[in-house]
Amino acid sequence: MPDKLTTERQNLIETDQESRLTRRSIRSFVIRNGRVTAAQQDALERLMPSYGLDFSDQIINPDLAFGRPAPLWLDIGFGNGDTLLHVAKQRPETNVLGIEVHSAGIGHALMGIESNQLSNIRVIQHDAMEVLGDMMPDGSVERILLFFPDPWPKKRHHKRRIVQKDFIDAVCRVLSPGGLLHCATDWADYANWMLELLDTDHRLKNLAGQGKTSERPQWRPETRFEKRGQRLGHEVSDLIFQRMP
Check 42, 134, 150, 201 and give the catalytic one: 150
Cα 46 to its chain centre, rounded Å, is 23
Buried b (16+ CB within 10 A) or exposed e, 117-149: ebebbbbbbbbbbbbbbbbbeeebbbbbbbbbb
Whole-number Å distance between alpha carbons of 129 and 204: 19
The HSE-up count of residue 48 (CA atoms within 13 Å, CB side) is: 18
63 is catalytic: no
Whole-number Å distance between alpha carbons of 145 and 238: 11
> H helices of the chain, where?
4-21, 38-51, 62-66, 82-90, 103-115, 128-134, 165-174, 188-199, 224-231
Active site residues: 150
